[in-house]
Amino acid sequence: MVTALLRSADRIYETRRKQRLWRSFPQPKRGAEQFSMGCVSFLEEVRLPPGEDLMVGNEEASEIVTYVREGAFSYRDSQGASGLLCGGEWQRLVTRPGVRVVRTNASEKEDAHIVRIGLDHSKIVLKPGAQQYLVGVSARRGRLCTVASPDGREQSLRLQHAALVFCTLLDPGQHVIHELVPERVAWLQVIEGEVSVSGHVLSAGDSLTIKGERSVSLTAVSSAEAVLVDVPQLVA
């Protein structure tokens, strides 16, 4: 059952300095189903010009999964930790109260294209830490590749939340299925191209949530890239 369908043009669009940001979640309240994505606190896509810092809101005590699709992305915090993410790399980072993180497009010539997923739930006490994972094209091609999980399966980032994050690259006509267990909900975000899922054709920037189904099944209409997030439903 598709519980929410969000088209790219309906995402929240913001400009902060020179950066461009499209937020898929959370959205302004349109109904209870729109806010049933478990521990996912935000999902956003960012285009960051060369040398620009990423402008973000309050991220205290969050676990953030970042995907650098294009470009290079550096980070450093107020306690001296630093690193560099390049195209194809994923990062898990736990932000901490009182510790400032600065994220910058490390290129002097090219935009950075970034997808960020925030995980936050008050019942979890997060331990500080960061981890990176390079996902090669072959690992994503024609299959759902696990990039983040609680148990670190398939050498993925090890999350403290009970979330699963997958990515895939599909050629036209290729088909993948993700089994969805009871009491969990999936969010599918299309990054590039077109896919068909649950009777809907989704284009770049489109997304939908699915729950109450045994699986999520998607077929590429054109060459496509997508991210799938699977989390437990929150119990009121």
For the chain, give the DSSP string: -EEEEE-GGGSEEEEETTEEEEEEES-S-SSGGGG--TTEEEEEEEEE-TTPBPP----TT-EEEEEEEESEEEEEETTS-EEEEETTEEEEEE--TT--EEEEE--SSS-EEEEEEEE--TT--PPPEEEEEE--HHHHBTS-EEEEETT-GGG-EE-SSS-EEEEEEE-TT-EEEEE--TTEEEEEEEEESEEEETTEEEETT-EEEEESSSEEEEEESSSEEEEEEEEEPPP-
Q: Fold for domain 2-232?
A: Jelly Rolls (2.60.120)
Q: Residues 33-52: what's their mean pLDDT?
A: 82
Residue 56 pLDDT greater than 80, yes or no: no
Q: Residues 215-227: what's their mean pLDDT?
A: 97
> Which pLDDT score, from 0 to 100, does residue 178 have?
96
> Which pLDDT score, from 0 to 100, does residue 167 have?
98
Residue 180 pLDDT greater than 80, yes or no: yes
> Which pLDDT score, from 0 to 100, does residue 88 have?
93
> Which pLDDT score, from 0 to 100, does residue 33 have?
44
Q: Residues 104-121: what's their mean pLDDT?
A: 90
- Model confidence over 63-98: pLDDT tens digits? 999 999 999 999 888 777 788 999 999 999 888 777
pLDDT category at 236 given cuts 50, 70, 90 is very low
Residue 217 pLDDT greater than 50, yes or no: yes
Q: Residues 105-131: what's their mean pLDDT?
A: 86
Share of the chain above pLDDT 70, in %: 92
Q: Residues 97-126: what's their mean pLDDT?
A: 85
pTM of the model: 0.92
